[in-house]
Amino acid sequence: MSRYLIAWIIMLLVAVANGALRDFTYGRHLPELLANQLSCLIGIILFGVVFYQYVRRWPPASSRQAMYIGLFWMVLTVAFEFVFFHFVAGHPWPELLANYDIASGRLWPLILLWVALGPYLFYRFFNKRGRMGGV
C-alpha cells in the first residue's frame, strides 16, 4: 500500500508542476479553456511517464491488482481535488463540478480515466512484451 501512496504523491507533485507550468508560461498567452486543455494533455503524458516507471519498477501481481491500483489513485485524486480545492483553496462547488463538463471542452474526466486505467494498460503492455510474469 505504501508504494501505491508514494506513487500517487509523486503524481500529485507532477500535477502541481504541470499547473505551475501552465500558470507561469503558456497560460498567460492562451485563452483559459485552451490553456486548460493543453495542461490536461501534458498531464496525461506526464502521468504516463509515472505509470510506466511505476509498473516497470514494481509490477502489479495481476491485471486485477493493476486495475485496483488505478482505481485507488483515481479515488485519491477526486477526493484531493474536492477537499483541497473547496475547503483549502475556497473554490465553490459549481466551479469544481464545471471541470467535469466535457461538452464544454473540459478534459479533466480524461485525466481521471487515464489515472484509473493507466496502470492496467502499462501492466498489459509489459506483460505482452514478456517483461513480466503471467496475468
What's the pLDDT tens digit per position in 10-65?
A: 999 999 999 999 999 999 999 999 999 999 999 999 999 999 999 999 999 999 99
**Grid coordinates in use for 60?**
502489479
**Grid coordinates in use for 18?**
504541470
What pLDDT is stored for residue 37 in this prediction?
Answer: 97
Q: What share of the chain is helix, strand, coil (3-state, %, to 5)?
A: 80, 0, 20
For residue 133, pLDDT beyond 70 = no
What's the pLDDT tens digit per position in 84-102?
A: 998 998 999 999 999 999 9
Q: What pTM, to 2 d.p., does this model score?
A: 0.89
